[in-house]
Amino acid sequence: MDRLSWYLRLKQAGKGVILEKLSSAVYEFIKAYVREEDIVLEEPMCKHTTFRVGGRAQALVQISSIRQLEKLIPYFKMTGVPYFILGNGSNLLVGDKGYKGIVLQIGNKMSTVTREGACIRAGAGLPMIQAARYAQENGLSGLEFASGIPGTLGGGVVMNAGAYGGEMKQVVKEVTVLSDQGEILTLDNASMEFGYRTSVIKNRPFVVIGTVLALTPGGKDEILKRMEELAEKRREKQPLAYASAGSTFKRPEGYFAGKLIMDAGLKGYRVGGAMVSEKHCGFVINTGNATAADVARVIWEVQEKVKDKFGVTLEKEVIFLGDF
């Protein structure tokens, strides 16, 4: 599609104010640094989230280098173009009307990984499952907890992802980030200010581009055995047969979200194709034909009923993108 055809297509779509920001000039700027085949217009976001729901982004750009981010992000900030950084979409709910902006996906084109002694250095796009597998194959222990987490390392670092007693803060040595001014910075573990499912990056205009993880030498067989044990626990307790974003809610202090939801009588609660899992009430699942609105309504209803019954606020782990 040439520049004029692309612009007319947007104009016919009636995007309003956002249309003027997402102009042909913006497209040409992106194309100066990104191959045209890596720029997808009006991309359905249901293809890029583990919930398998969501409308179209005005453009999705597959990022393959730090240089691209160094050029695009400051430009978007300067021109006011809305943008969103996407990893594997494993913690994301995109509205049915889509996202009126540009999605920059940091995925397998930024997923290099190398061993440095007892550490591994990896790009932000490396899936956490692959990082755990790489560590095991190199006889490095500490990432077993991540062997079933479907997100990328970049996303895992931002939210301090964790499972079964392990968290990213336990293994992160340093994180390389890009500011919205185009500066590359290195943050050590203390500077990351890790907390429960959060880090300093959640509230700063930083994009994770890489990380160094400090691990512990161990036996490959023992590490693999632990990973297999955790995989079996997931199969037993989690609704892996359905599309979801994993644990939908953060664990409130002193409680378990799943038990609160079950005790509130919400096991199997359903709106359209979205449902509170009967296998694990901490999961909201897509039974096959859910919309983003269905999922959002289940989440809001769970929050309201748990608050009314127990006085406990359930904070969602899932990020909402777009209009709901």
Exposed / middle / buried, residue 12 (Cβ in 10 Å: 0-12, 13-18, 19+): exposed
Q: What is the DSSP string of 274-303?
A: EEE-SS-TT-EEE-SS--HHHHHHHHHHHH
Say if residue 2's pLDDT is above 70.
Answer: no
Q: Where are the beta strands (DSSP E) in the chain?
A: 39-44, 56-63, 83-86, 92-94, 99-106, 113-116, 119-123, 140-141, 162-163, 166-167, 172-179, 184-188, 206-214, 216-217, 243-244, 270-271, 274-276, 284-286, 319-321
Tell me the average pLDDT across 31-44: 96
- 14 vs 117, higher pLDDT: 117
At residue 22 the predicted structure's pLDDT band, cuts being 50, 70 and 90, is low
pLDDT number for residue 85: 98
Could you tell me if 317 and 248 are in contact, meaning their C-beta atoms sit under 8 angstroms apart? yes
Say if residue 7's pLDDT is above 70.
Answer: no
- 85-98 confidence digits (pLDDT tens): 999 999 999 999 99
pLDDT number for residue 247: 96
At residue 292 the predicted structure's pLDDT band, cuts being 50, 70 and 90, is very high
CATH number of 111-222, picked from 3.40.50.300, 3.30.930.10, 3.30.465.10, 1.10.3720.10: 3.30.465.10
Class (C level, CATH) for 239-321: alpha beta
Tell me where in the chain the CATH 3.90.78.10 domain(s) lie: 239-321
Tell me where in the chain the CATH 3.30.43.10 domain(s) lie: 3-108
The pTM assigned to this predicted structure is: 0.91
Q: Using only C-alpha atoms, what is the Rg of the chain?
A: 20
Tell me the average pLDDT across 257-278: 98
**Other residues' Cβ atoms within 10 Å of the Cβ of residue 308:** 9
d(CA 171, CA 168): 6
Say if residue 123's pLDDT is above 80.
Answer: yes
Greatest CA separation for the chain: 60
* Positions marked catalytic: 197, 247, 317
- Bridge-based pairing of strands 140-141 and 216-217 is antiparallel
pLDDT number for residue 76: 95
pLDDT number for residue 24: 86
At residue 8 the predicted structure's pLDDT band, cuts being 50, 70 and 90, is very low
What CATH number belongs to 3-108? 3.30.43.10
pLDDT number for residue 23: 76
d(CA 307, CA 223): 41
- 189-243 confidence digits (pLDDT tens): 999 999 999 999 999 999 999 999 999 999 999 999 999 999 999 999 999 999 9
- 178-195 confidence digits (pLDDT tens): 999 999 999 999 999 999
Any idea which residue has 């249309």 for tokens? Answer: 19
Compute the mean pLDDT over every residue in the chain, rounded to the nearest whole number: 93
